[in-house]
Structure 1
Amino acid sequence: MKNETSLTPEEVAGILKIAKNTVYELIKRGELPAYRIGRKIRIDLQDVENYKKQGKKTEHLPETTPAGRITAGTKPSIEGQTAFSGLVICGQDVLLDILTRHLERHPNGTRAFRHYVGSFSGLLALYQEKADMSAVHLWDGDTGVYNIPYVRRLLPGIPAVIIHLACRMQGFYALKGNPKGIKQWQDLTRPDISFINREKGCGTRVLLDEKLRVLGIDRRQINGYKREENSHLAIASAVARGEADTGLGIEKAALQVRGIEFVPLHKERYELVIKKEDLEKPHFQAVIEILQSEEFKRELQGLGDYDLTETGKIVAEV
C-alpha cells in the first residue's frame, strides 16, 4: 500500500480506524470523494489525507455554553458545514452507524454525529454534556455485572437509563488453526505468546484488566501488554499480519479479516446510556422505536456476532 494512491474502502477503513460501512456512509454523504472503476469504488490517498487534516480542525466534541448545556449552534461542524443540529452519539460499533442511518429517515429523527471513542470517554462526554448518548460495554469483575456499576460512578448525581443494544462475544484472535493453542486468559503469560492490546478506557481493555485482576494474573508477564491499537479490526489485522500472536476483541472483526480464527471467551452486553431527563424528547423516542423495530433487527441479523434477544429494552434506571 505504500506506493498506491488509489485505495479500496477496506484500506481507507484501516487508515482511519473506522468500520468499512462508515467509509461508505462518508462517501454517500459527500464527505469523502470517491469514484468507480468498473464496479469497484476507489478513493484517492490524497483525499483521505485531506479528510484527516479537516478532521483535526473540526472533529471534536462540542463546546458548551456558559451554563454547560449544548445548543444546536455549538455542535460540531461536519466537513465545513457551519452548524450541526442533531444528536452526538459516542461509541465504535457499526451497529451505531446503522442506527444513525435509520434515525435520519425516522419521522421524528434527526442527523447524528458519530464520535468514535471508547466507553470511558463516552460516559465522560455524556457527563460533561458534550454528547447526548453513549454506547458502553464495561464489565465489573466484583459483581459480574455489565455497565450499571460504571454508569453510577461516572455519572454521579445524573439519573440515567440503560437501553440494551446487543450481546456480543469477546475472545482471542489467532491465526487459522490456532497454531499456538491459545485458549484461556492464562495463556497470555506464556513466553512464546506475543499480545497486542486495546487502548485504555475502552470496554475490551476494561474486560481484560478486570479478568487479570480477578484471576490474579500479573500483566507485567504479558509480552506486548503495552502495545495498543484503537479498534477490534486493527487488532485482528495485526494478528493476521504476524505482528502479534493474539489480541482480544469481538467476533465480528474476526469474520472480516482473512486468516483469523476466533477463540470465544466471554459474552458481553453492549448498551446505550441516555440521561433520564432526555428520554421523552422526540429524537430520543425515535432512537428507542428504531431499536425495537423489526426492520432494524433484521439488518443487524445479517452482520453476525449479535444476540438481539433484548435489543431496545430498557434494562436499568440508574
Structure 2
Amino acid sequence: MNKLYTAQEVADRLQIKKTTVYELIKRGELYSSKVGKQLRISEQQLNQYLEHSNSGNPGNSGASASGISPMSSLQVPEFPPESSLLKRDYLLHSSGLILCGQFSPALELLVSQMSIHPQGIPVLQSFMNSYNSLYSLYFKKAHIACASLDLEDIRHLVPGTALSVICLYEYAIGFYVLSGNPKGITSLNALSGKNITIANREKGSTPRIYLDRFLLGSQISPASVSGYSTELVSDISTAAAVANHKADTALGEEYAAHQSGLLDFVPLETLPMYLVMETNALSQPGFAALLEIVRSEDFRTILQGQTGYDVTRTGELFSL
C-alpha cells in the first residue's frame, strides 16, 4: 500500500520544521496530493524527493545529506495550500481584503495590526511576486498588491485604472554570499565569470527583474550566467541554496541573509516597496484603517526595530 503522510509526519521524518515542508511543496521540490480538503504526501512522493535530494541537483535547496539544512532555523512562512483558494474566494465576495505580495516581515506586521485595529477587517495574504500581484489587482482577483517596482512600471501593468500607491518601506537589494565573501562578489558584473554560480528567482520577482534589466543593459547573455535557469520562489529559498553550497550567490532582500549565521550581505541598491490599490477604494473602511496603520508612529517604530528597513518614506501616498 502507498502510505500517506501528513506534513507534520514528513517534517518529523526529515527532521525539519513543518513550515519547511510547506515551503518545499510550494517550490515544487516535494509533490503532494489533496485528500478531501487535507494535504497528504504519499510514500512514493516522499521517496522521489529523497532520491532527488541525494542526487545533488543544484536546484535543490532542501535538506542536506544529514537531513538537517544549515538554514533550518529560518522562519519560513507557512503556506497551507488546502485552504488558501477557499479563503480567497470567500474574501472576494465578503468584507475582507486580499493582499498579494511576497513573504515579508512588514506584511506580517501589517496583517497582524489590521486584526486588532478598531476598523480593521479580515485580511488574507496571497503569496505572489511583484508582477503577479499587480496582475491579480488588474484582473480584480486582489484588493491590494505589494510591489517593488518603478512607479512607471506599476502604471503600465495596471492600465486604465486610477491607482493610489503607499510607500511601505525602503530596503537594500544585494548579494547573499558565504561568510567572508570567499569569491569576492561585489557587483553584478561578477556573474558573468565562469567560476560564479547564481541561485536565480522566478520571472516576475523583483530580484529577477533587477537582474534581467542589468543583463540587457550590459548586453550580457543570460546563457553566460551559470545557474541562471535555476529558479526558486523566495529569498529564503535562494539564501538557503547559497548556505548549502548549491550556489555561490543570489540576489534578494537583506533580511533573509541575517536569519542565518552562514551568510553575509553585499548591498547594491535601495529600492522602495509599495502597496498598490484602486484609488476609489481608499474611502472604504478597511483601506482607511490600513492607511492609518502604515502612517502611525508605532508601526514605523516596530517595523524598523524588527527588520532594519528604512521607514523614512513609510506612509507616503502617490496617485497614478
TM-score range, shorter chain: 0.7 to 0.9
Alpha-carbon spacing, 1:88–1:232, altered in 2? closer, same or farther (3 Å): same
Residues 105-141 of structure 1, C-alpha deviations (whole Å, 9 max, x = no match): 1111111000000111111111111100011012xxx
Residues 21-63 of structure 1, C-alpha deviations (whole Å, 9 max, x = no match): xxxxxxxxxx99xxxxxxxxxxxxxxxxxx856248647x539
What displacement does 1:216 show?
Answer: 2.3
Structure 2 counterpart of 1:127: 138
Determine if contact 1:87/1:112 at 8 Å carries over to the other structure. yes
* Aligned-partner Cα distance in 1 for 2:277–2:84: 28
* Identical positions, percent: 34
* Aligned-partner Cα distance in 2 for 1:242–1:98: 32
Alpha-carbon spacing, 1:191–1:5, altered in 2? closer, same or farther (3 Å): closer
Structure 2 residue 179 is the aligned partner of structure 1 residue 173 = no
Determine if contact 1:198/1:230 at 8 Å carries over to the other structure. yes
Please show how residues 238-257 of structure 1 align to structure 2 within 5 Å: 238-257=241-260
- Paired AA for residue 319 in structure 2: E
Structure 2 counterpart of 1:306: 309
Q: Any gaps of 5 or more consecutive residues in structure 2?
A: 1-9, 28-37, 40-78
Structure 2 residue 122 is the aligned partner of structure 1 residue 100 = no
What displacement does 1:12 show?
Answer: 5.2
* Aligned-partner Cα distance in 1 for 2:85–2:287: 29
What displacement does 1:8 show?
Answer: 3.7
- Paired AA for residue 96 in structure 2: G
Determine if contact 2:239/2:250 at 8 Å carries over to the other structure. yes
* Aligned-partner Cα distance in 2 for 1:109–1:2: 35
Residues 157-179 of structure 1, C-alpha deviations (whole Å, 9 max, x = no match): 10001100010000011110111
Structure 1 counterpart of 2:319: 317
Question: Secondary structure of the residue that 1:303 maps to in structure 2?
Answer: helix
Q: TM-score, normalised on structure 1?
A: 0.76
Structure 1 counterpart of 2:51: none
Structure 2 counterpart of 1:206: 209
Structure 2 residue 309 is the aligned partner of structure 1 residue 287 = no
Structure 2 counterpart of 1:164: 167
Please show how residues 11-90 of structure 1 align to structure 2 within 5 Å: 11=20, 14-15=23-24, 52=80, 54-55=82-83, 58=86, 61-62=88-89, 70-72=92-94, 85-90=95-100
* Aligned-partner Cα distance in 1 for 2:89–2:311: 32
Residues 1-21 of structure 1, C-alpha deviations (whole Å, 9 max, x = no match): 986366446745754669xxx
Determine if contact 1:186/1:217 at 8 Å carries over to the other structure. no
Q: TM-score, normalised on structure 2?
A: 0.75
* Aligned-partner Cα distance in 2 for 1:247–1:219: 15
Question: Secondary structure of the residue that 2:171 maps to in structure 1?
Answer: strand
Question: Secondary structure of the residue that 2:227 maps to in structure 1?
Answer: coil
> Alignment RMSD, CA only?
2.6
Determine if contact 1:233/1:257 at 8 Å carries over to the other structure. no
